[in-house]
């Protein structure tokens, strides 16, 4: 990474428009629904499955919801969920809203899901209840035939081990964006442009599978926008461009996507910068996602690039769940605060390089938390956990699996006159062949670790808790 100069940085979906998002966890009072429909779709493999659930409210608007259902077989278990808080007692399962999707307007929908395990067979629930009311609306419960195990391959672009499936393409309505002309708009940016400035409710822009070669910007004046891919995996919807720093006004201006509106959500899609480093061009940084948005949530997203893939700016707080990030040098970087939870992070350069380059302000307690994630790379003993772009950089790798790609004797390194030893770099209870302890690997104690949880990283002054 060379030095950088910082620059200033509608459509209502046919599926869903979740209103009045506040971004702050509140004690909303649940109201009874008078009707609902549920779409429950699974993708099965031996011993496991992914379930995606779309809940449509056919009755009065509700502010706070709980979905209930019962597994027909006692061998079925919910393992990890997203966009809801799941609990299970015996065969009975409940899923409760998280703060950003608590409201479901009349006729609107929310999409949630989970990874599960099963033994014997995997039949589907026969009925669902929303706030205690049985859902009687029509629902599709098709289950595609599995073709492969969900475990990803390590090279060149491994699929995340835990990769939730999205909600299916809605029945009876157009996607918001479709490159083939079957949607309301042909480009993602056209759909964003159609959202009014200053909107105060969730606007879900659904994107049909395809490749969208464009530069996408969600302005700061347009909060509460969701970009939702409608494919069977995040590989099916690709937003891509090939700008690089040397030809486009510096690193910060090279991004494929600029997400500036607070409470933005990205789900089930890929953002890529496919500029190829040629070994001769100066300023080869080529950002995939430039994130300025506070309270941003990324779920089941792939971020692809070489140098400087994912920029998390000072103003951003981001929760990144069950996603995949790859790059070569400093490919997770910036002065913002981010939790990467259950993610796959891949160093693809054969000679290795630092993964993170944090520039955390001294006044900030929290920078980057890599939590219960998996770190892999192209070669063994070549990859470093990070280096300090700023002298007070803060990075913690916590309870993650570190493969043999990590340079175990010296996993942190200096940068631009900033000593890694003076930065706030830590590990805690990591596992795998790349884990270990020595004088170059500062570890948190159990008592210290209690103050470095995902919730504490993200809470800020407003108590934000996207985790549920």
pLDDT bucket at 114, cuts 50 / 70 / 90: confident
pLDDT bucket at 122, cuts 50 / 70 / 90: confident
Q: Which of 80-94, 170-184, 447-461 is most confident? A: 447-461
Q: What is the pLDDT of residue 173?
A: 60
Of 51-55, 386-390, 407-411, 438-442, where does mean pLDDT reach its minimum? 51-55
Residue environment code for 348-374, b if the CB has 16+ CB neighbours within 10 A, otherwise e: bbeebbbbbbbbbeeeeebbbbbbbbb
Q: What is the pLDDT of residue 174?
A: 82
Tokens of 321: 């769940």
Tokens of 467: 């985790």
Higher pLDDT, 403 or 56: 403
- For residue 306, indicate whether it is catalytic: no
Of 9-13, 70-74, 363-367, where does mean pLDDT reach its minimum? 9-13
User: What average pLDDT does the segment 35-52 reach?
Assistant: 77
DSSP-assigned beta bridge partners for residue 267: 228, 299
- For residue 361, indicate whether it is catalytic: no
User: What average pLDDT does the segment 298-323 reach?
Assistant: 96
DSSP, collapsed to helix, strand or coil, labels residue 200 as coil
pTM of structure: 0.68
CB 240 within 8 A of CB 269: no
Q: What is the pLDDT of residue 101?
A: 74
User: What average pLDDT does the segment 348-356 reach?
Assistant: 95
Q: Is the pLDDT of residue 438 over 90?
A: yes
Q: How is residue 146 annotated by DSSP?
A: P
Q: What is the pLDDT of residue 66?
A: 94
pLDDT bucket at 100, cuts 50 / 70 / 90: low
- What is the rounded distance in angstroms from the CA atom of residue 287 to the CA atom of residue 459? 27
Q: Is the pLDDT of residue 283 over 70?
A: no
Q: What is the pLDDT of residue 140?
A: 37
Of 13-27, 172-186, 452-466, where does mean pLDDT reach its minimum? 13-27
Q: What is the pLDDT of residue 151?
A: 31
Q: Is the pLDDT of residue 43 over 90?
A: no
Give the active site residue among 236, 330, 342, 344. 330
pLDDT bucket at 46, cuts 50 / 70 / 90: low
Of 107-116, 155-164, 419-428, 459-468, where does mean pLDDT reach its minimum? 155-164
Q: Is the pLDDT of residue 8 over 60?
A: no
Give the active site residue among 236, 308, 341, 344. 308
Domains with residue ranges and CATH for the chain: 36-134 (2.60.40.290), 188-459 (2.160.20.10)
Query: Dihedral, CA atoms, 1, 377, 391, 438, nearest 10 degrees?
Result: -150
Q: Does the CA dihedral 250-253-256-259 come out positive or negative?
A: positive
Q: What is the pLDDT of residue 255?
A: 95
Integer CA distances (angstroms), 103 to 23, 96, 360, in order: 12, 12, 34
CB 200 within 8 A of CB 267: no
- What is the rounded distance in angstroms from the CA atom of residue 257 to the CA atom of residue 240? 8
Q: Which of 7-16, 135-144, 228-237 is most confident? A: 228-237
Q: What is the pLDDT of residue 169?
A: 35
Q: What is the pLDDT of residue 391?
A: 97
Q: Is the pLDDT of residue 1 over 60?
A: no
Higher pLDDT, 111 or 402: 402
Higher pLDDT, 382 or 55: 382
Average pLDDT, the chain: 83
User: What average pLDDT does the segment 6-18 reach?
Assistant: 31
Per-residue pLDDT tens for 291-309? Answer: 999 999 999 999 999 999 9
Q: Which of 8-17, 35-44, 114-123, 251-260 is most confident? A: 251-260
CB 229 within 8 A of CB 239: no
Give CA 294 to chain center in angstroms. Answer: 14
Q: What is the pLDDT of residue 163?
A: 34
- pLDDT > 70 in the chain, percent: 81
């Amino acid at each position: 990474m060379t030095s950088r100069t910082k620059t200033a940085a509608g459509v209502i979906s046919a599926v869903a428009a979740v209103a009045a998002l506040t971004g702050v966890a509140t004690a909303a009072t649940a109201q009874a629904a008078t009707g609902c429909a549920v779409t429950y779709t699974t993708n099965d493999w031996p011993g496991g499955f992914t379930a995606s659930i779309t809940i449509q409210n056919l009755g009065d608007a509700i502010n706070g919801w709980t979905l209930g259902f019962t597994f027909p077989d006692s061998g079925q278990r919910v393992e990890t969920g997203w966009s809801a808080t799941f609990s299970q007692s015996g065969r009975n399962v409940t899923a409760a809203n998280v703060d950003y999707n608590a409201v479901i307007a009349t006729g609107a929908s929310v999409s949630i899901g989970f990874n599960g395990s099963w033994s014997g067979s995997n039949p589907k629930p026969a009925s669902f209840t929303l706030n205690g009311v049985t859902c009687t609306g029509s629902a599709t419960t098709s289950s595609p035939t599995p073709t492969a195990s969900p475990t990803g391959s390590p090279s060149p672009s491994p699929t995340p081990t835990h990769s939730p499936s999205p909600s299916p393409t809605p029945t009876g309505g157009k996607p918001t964006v479709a490159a083939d002309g079957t949607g309301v708009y042909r480009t993602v940016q056209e759909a964003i442009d159609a959202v009014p400035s200053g909107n105060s409710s969730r606007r879900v822009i659904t994107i049909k599978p395809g490749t969208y070669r464009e530069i996408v910007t969600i302005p700061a004046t347009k909060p509460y926008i969701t970009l939702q891919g409608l494919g069977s995996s995040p590989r099916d919807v690709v937003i891509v461009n090939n700008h690089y720093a040397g030809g486009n006004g510096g690193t910060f201006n090279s991004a494929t996507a600029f997400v500036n509106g607070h409470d933005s959500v990205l789900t089930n899609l890929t953002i890529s910068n496919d500029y190829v480093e040629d070994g001769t061009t100066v300023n080869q940084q080529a950002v995939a996602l430039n994130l300025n948005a506070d309270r941003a949530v990324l779920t089941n997203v792939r971020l692809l690039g070489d140098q400087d893939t994912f920029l998390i700016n000072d103003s951003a707080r981001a929760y990144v769940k069950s996603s995949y990030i790859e790059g070569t040098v400093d490919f997770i970087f910036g002065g913002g605060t981010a939790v990467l939870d259950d993610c796959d992070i891949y160093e693809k350069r054969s000679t290795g390089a630092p993964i993170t380059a944090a520039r955390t302000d001294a006044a900030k307690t929290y920078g980057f938390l890599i939590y219960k994630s998996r770190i892999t790379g192209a070669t063994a003993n070549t990859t470093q956990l990070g280096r300090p772009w700023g002298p007070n950089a803060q990075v913690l790798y916590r309870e993650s699996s570190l493969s043999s790609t990590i340079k175990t004797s010296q996993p942190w390194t200096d940068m631009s006159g900033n000593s890694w030893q003076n930065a706030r770099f830590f590990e805690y209870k990591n596992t795998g062949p790349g884990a270990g302890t020595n004088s170059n690997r500062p570890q948190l104690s159990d008592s210290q670790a209690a103050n470095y949880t995902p919730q504490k990283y993200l809470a800020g002054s407003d108590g934000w808790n996207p985790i549920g």
